[in-house]
Chains A and B, each alone.
Chain A
Amino acid sequence: MSILIYTENWDGKFKKVSFELASYAAALAEQTGKQAIAISLGEVENSELEKLGQYGIGKIVTAQDKRFATLDNKAITKAIAAAAKQVQAEVIILSHDNLGKAIAPRLAIRCNAGLVTAVTGLPESLNPFIVHKNVFTGKAIAHIKIEKEAKVLTLAYNSFGLNEKHSSVEITSFDPDLTDSDFSMEVLDTTKVTGKVLLNEADIVVSGGRGMKSADNWYLIEELAEELGAATACSRPVSDEGWRPHDEHVGQTGKIISPNLYFAFGISGAIQHLGGVSSSKVIVAVNKDPEAPIFEAADYGITGDALKVLPELIQAVKDTKNQ
């Protein structure tokens, strides 16, 4: 009986979400007395695989098949299911990112498992097995019991944190026995977004609304984001106006994010916007209007003109870096 996690790789490298998943699995392993095992698919060097050992993963099964690079959902599901069978996994955990979201439901059916996605913490009870997640776009929390013996979970971003726990790592090779016909998708091209910090992964997000007055002032948002190593985002009216691209729009009908720190400059805080950012750990709001609803959701706030506060904030951040 074990806990199996699917650690995706990006061009052979793991990211913070992989280590978060590992930390969660290690904690769950302790909670349940089972072993935490990771499965890796695709070409990943041992030196990279061993990094999982820093977060408590003692065993890794790897299928170094380069065909996995096409991210074929059916093939990946088959491979993980085969591994799960081999290691007798009772719980399989994936990240709640694009790929995890796509694989987990397929996997649940294939392994006859109960699925809960975007869980926000360790199970509050093992028997019955109950986990919790945010529902109604952050307006409520649901405690869900998995009725089946086998369980599949996806872990919501930034809900667990990294826990260093050094373990020695046993790496074994694994052959999921897939034929070429299992990989039915043809990738024509891939455009990577380089340089920019990705919005759904960012620890810090700097966001602007109509209070920024015009697209011409966005260099201030970008500069602060660069100083902080943050991603940039915006409210809906801003993307509707075309000041910023649609993929930066956070809100109920845009992206839902949960960074550690969310800056809202010149954003009034309409319910639709808050629905996208309310799970942020800390929200900082800067708005001219002291009555703006954003201050009710924020942890820290400044009543003032975002255009005046930003340059000062940028300078203050630079100063602390130089200290």
Chain B
Amino acid sequence: MNFELTEEQLMIQQAARDYAQRELIQDVLERDANATFPAKHVKALAELGFMGMMVDPKYNGGGMDTISYVLAMEELSKIDASMSVIVSVNNSLVCYGLDKYGDEFQKEKFLKPLASGEKIGAFLLSEPEAGSDATSQRTIAEDKGDHYLVNGTKNWITNANSASTYILIAQTDPAKKHKGITAFVLDKNSPGISLGPHEDKMGMRSSDTHSVMFTDVKVPKENRIGEEGFGFTFAMKILEGGRIGIAAQALGLASGALERAVAYAKERKAFGTAIANHQAIAFKLSDMAVKVENARNLCLKAAWLKDKGEAFGVASAMAKQYAADIAMEVTTEAVQIHGGYGYVKEYHVERLMREAKLTQIYEGTSEIQKIVISRSLLR
């Protein structure tokens, strides 16, 4: 069993680390405070090839494996989870969806600019009334002969404003319930699309999140991904891949928090010695380290299975649920270890804690992950 990373994987990890530690760190606190979009970083990361890492080079992608993607996501998330969620949505929801299920026309028109990072994408599934229960879609796409007419509202959409391309999940046949759901790719600037105000979020504040309203939006037939009724399966399959990205993000939040906690514990003195020398703190760090190591192994295993072409849905559910839950624990503990300093923005750990919370909620709550895992056990 080989636990070693290849030279390329190490270089990719280093490149992500260098960019994060040199560039993202410069304005991350300011962007969190003001909820400003990291436009220049999106451009730079696109130029470096981080927006379409796993897409085939013939569609402008990097042709990299999922392990490399996990490594990059972890490094970016240690410093800036807002930036890494933008990268994750683009890579493992939107590009993945088009790469796996799009036809040649859709790949040429939509996948290419997304993979090169020239444009970014958003994935529209959640609705005001449909979060965990994605079977009850209220957004309707009516077949009008040569196009579909879409009406409805999607919410909590990451990249809603900055994206140029949307992948939309909508109901084409309400009678068929979840078998009547269909997936589409479309241009964000289509007439009839409007955005709600920017959500004022607890964390990942530098990424843009809006609700998206569709009023008689025309979507050409050729933009439908797969057959009518394929949408639910499509969404579930795509989320399996997306889960790995978020698991890696949660891993990065946890490992970033651990690194900061270790550094702080070595320097901070109390009762005559560095607090790292007090067992209470040392044991906390030990527990945190084991959790991070477990999360990393789960993420890499899921990525490895996906790269081998094997079923990875349960593995990615385990990775996502575990990594998100421990990210919440580890970041909270990191704040605790920092004491008063952990409570102020300057030391970053309070931000990591706020950001970790979302990883337990989006792209499938921890509870949903447990449904996936338990169902596979109890089949």
List chain A positions with a Cβ less than 8 A from chain B. 291, 293
Contacts and interface: CB of A to CB of B under 8 A. Distances in A.
Interface string B232-250: 0000000000000000000
Interface string B118-147: 000000000000000000000000000000
Contacts of A293: 267
Nearest to B22: A240
B221 interface: no
Contacts of B268: 291
Interface in B259-281: 267-269
Interface of B: 267-269
Contacts of B267: 291, 293
4 contacts: A291-B267, A291-B268, A291-B269, A293-B267
A293 B269 CA distance: 12
Contacts of A291: 267-269
Nearest to A293: B267
A279 to B, nearest CB: 24
A291 B263 CA distance: 13
A158 B199 CA distance: 61
User: Interface majority SS on B: helix, strand, loop or mixed?
Assistant: mixed
Nearest to A291: B269
Q: Which 4 A-B pairs have the closest CB atoms?
A: A291-B269, A291-B267, A291-B268, A293-B267
A126 to B, nearest CB: 46
B26 to A, nearest CB: 8
B276 to A, nearest CB: 13
A44 to B, nearest CB: 47
B27 to A, nearest CB: 12
A266 to B, nearest CB: 16
Contacts of B269: 291
Nearest to A290: B269
B29 to A, nearest CB: 14
A45 B343 CA distance: 68
Nearest to A289: B267
A269 to B, nearest CB: 11
A293 B274 CA distance: 12
A293 B268 CA distance: 10
A223 B330 CA distance: 47
A291 B274 CA distance: 10
Nearest to B267: A291
A291 B268 CA distance: 7
A123 to B, nearest CB: 41
B20 to A, nearest CB: 16
Nearest to A241: B26
A311 B92 CA distance: 57
B41 to A, nearest CB: 17
Nearest to B268: A291
A293 to B, nearest CB: 7
B337 to A, nearest CB: 15
Nearest to B270: A291
A174 B37 CA distance: 69
Nearest to A240: B26
A46 to B, nearest CB: 54
B149 to A, nearest CB: 54
B195 to A, nearest CB: 36
A291 B267 CA distance: 7
B8 to A, nearest CB: 27
B278 to A, nearest CB: 15
A161 B92 CA distance: 64
A293 B267 CA distance: 8
B259 to A, nearest CB: 15
B269 to A, nearest CB: 5
A291 B264 CA distance: 11
A293 B266 CA distance: 11
A291 B269 CA distance: 7
Nearest to B274: A291
A291 B276 CA distance: 14
A213 to B, nearest CB: 14
A303 to B, nearest CB: 13
B260 to A, nearest CB: 15
Nearest to A292: B267
A118 to B, nearest CB: 30
A293 B264 CA distance: 12
A216 B236 CA distance: 57
A124 to B, nearest CB: 37
B182 to A, nearest CB: 51
